[in-house]
Amino acid sequence: MTKLGVLASGRGSNFQAIINAINAGTLKASLELLIVDNPSAYAVERAKKHGIPHLYMNPKDFGTQDGFFAGIADGLKSRGVELVVLAGFMRIVRKPLLDAFPMRVMNIHPALLPSFPGLHGQRQAVDYGVRISGCTVHFVDEGMDTGPVIIQAAVPVMPDDTEESLSERILGLEHKIFPEAIRLFSEGRLEVSGRKVRIINASKAVHGVIVNPPLS
């Protein structure tokens, strides 16, 4: 059973999806610690409801960003965390945390990377006029949404879509593929080679790509 640590800054809907998957028995993992950088993050209420230890860490209490992430790493290691999950954590992860958990920090982004990294990926997709968008689970490196891709899920972009309507459609898939990526990690089925992530023993139907609605 993989021990998870979660970092969040806001409402934590992906955090809730992970909780639900664990409670449903589809994800064999334990949530050891939630760390937030925002004392008002609703993710804390989710942690309280489910009896998950939580901790607010104020970046201003540390001299540098590197010091802040070193503190996060220490807190996670003290709980025996094996995989760090970013569930709406609104900061670029720094080297001290990445060094402490090499290829063991996982993030979800609401766009089909490498397109539209950074903030407001859904708005970028609508403004650009793409016909397909979606979400990406990836391992985290020192860049902004540049780490190796694990799973992607795609949705059509409708002619009348707004940032809000596209975001809602994408979010439903985020809640599916994030727990799935964590499950693959917990089963030892993710093999990273350079930029490529191989899913070991993947079926022909599921090889890191989900399309909704399915392509005929």
- Residue-wise pLDDT tens digits, 71-110: 999 999 999 999 999 999 999 999 999 999 999 999 999 9
What residue spans of 86-206 are helical by DSSP H?
Answer: 95-100, 121-128, 163-186
Task: Please determine, for residue 52, whether its predicted confidence score (pLDDT) is greater than 80.
Answer: yes
Task: Please determine, for residue 137, whether its predicted confidence score (pLDDT) is greater than 60.
Answer: yes
Return the biggest CA–CA distance within the chain.
55
Domain boundary pick from 56, 85, 102: 102
Residue 164 shares a structural domain with residue 67? no
Residue 34 shares a structural domain with residue 57? yes
Residue 146 shares a structural domain with residue 196? yes
What's the CATH number where 216 sits? Answer: 3.40.50.170
- Please compute the mean of the pLDDT values over residues 61-80 and round it to a whole number: 96
Residue 42 shares a structural domain with residue 112? no
pLDDT value, residue 182: 97
pLDDT value, residue 205: 42
Residue 97 shares a structural domain with residue 113? no
Which residue in 50, 109, 120, 207 is the catalytic one?
Answer: 109
Task: Please determine, for residue 55, whether its predicted confidence score (pLDDT) is greater than 90.
Answer: yes
Residue 70 shares a structural domain with residue 139? no
Q: Give the residue, 212 or 66, on which the prediction is more confident.
A: 66
Cβ contacts of residue 113 below 8 Å, gap of 6+?
136, 138, 145, 146, 149, 152
Residue 128 shares a structural domain with residue 26? no
Q: Which of 45-59, 118-132, 200-214 has the lowest mean pLDDT?
A: 200-214
- The boundaries of the domain holding residue 125 are 107-216
Residue 114 shares a structural domain with residue 97? no
pLDDT value, residue 63: 87
To the nearest whole percent, how much of the chain has pLDDT over 90?
88
pLDDT value, residue 202: 77
| pLDDT confidence band for 209 (50 / 70 / 90) | low
Task: Please determine, for residue 181, whether its predicted confidence score (pLDDT) is greater than 80.
Answer: yes
Residue 134 shares a structural domain with residue 164? yes
CA distances 126 to 130, 144, 187, 196, Å, are: 7, 20, 36, 28
Average pLDDT over the chain, rounded to an integer: 92
pLDDT value, residue 4: 98
- Please compute the mean of the pLDDT values over residues 98-127 and round it to a whole number: 94
Domain boundary pick from 49, 84, 102: 102
- Please compute the mean of the pLDDT values over residues 104-127 and round it to a whole number: 93
* CA dihedral (44, 42, 107, 154) positive or negative: positive
Residue 118 shares a structural domain with residue 56? no
To the nearest whole percent, how much of the chain has pLDDT over 70?
94
Cβ contacts of residue 165 below 8 Å, gap of 6+?
158
**Residue 166: both structure tokens together:** 């596209």
* Cα–Cα dist 77/16, whole Å: 22
Residue among 106, 95, 42 nearest 69 (CA): 95
pLDDT value, residue 110: 94
Q: How many separate domains does the chain show?
A: 2
φ and ψ of 134, to 5 deg: 160, -150
Residue 94 shares a structural domain with residue 118? no
Residue 68 shares a structural domain with residue 28? yes
Task: Please determine, for residue 216, whether its predicted confidence score (pLDDT) is greater than 60.
Answer: no
Annotated catalytic residue 109: yes
C-beta separation of 36 from 10 below 8 A: no
